[in-house]
Amino acid sequence: MNYYSVKDDTPIAMLTVGQLREYLKITTPAPLTEQSPKETKYVYGIAGIARLFGCSLPTAHRIKKSGRIDGAIKQVGRKIITDADLALELAGRKTGGRR
């Protein structure tokens, strides 16, 4: 039961499961093991933070002002750029215990 024992004019329905597997193994290219770099998603401004967390603008301002997501925020003047994935990760971390 070799791939080469199957003729080119043999219908696929006439192949055994083993012959079909062997044929597919030979003709299918190996999957790429290399992963593409993860694309970073950014949100801009207080409105972007509000959309990211699903909250109002005043609440988004309080989140930014609290310092919990400072590692994800880059601010130059009035322009605020936030790494969305990092901000969500930082916001979910516990920082302290009960008082």
Question: Is the pLDDT confidence value at 7 over 70?
Answer: yes
Pair 26, 55 in one domain: no
Check whether residue 26 and residue 48 sit in a common domain. Answer: no
Residue 3 has pLDDT above 60, yes or no: no
Report if residue 98 sits inside a domain: no
39 contacts: CB under 8 Å, gap ≥ 6: none
Q: Are residues 67 and 86 in the same domain?
A: yes
Between residues 33 and 15, the one the model is more confident about: 15
13 CB-near residues (< 8 Å, 6+ apart): none
pLDDT band at 95 (very low <50, low <70, confident <90, very high): low
How many domains does the chain contain in total?
A: 2
SS3 56: coil
User: What was the pLDDT predicted at 16?
Assistant: 84
Residue 32 confidence (pLDDT) above 70: no
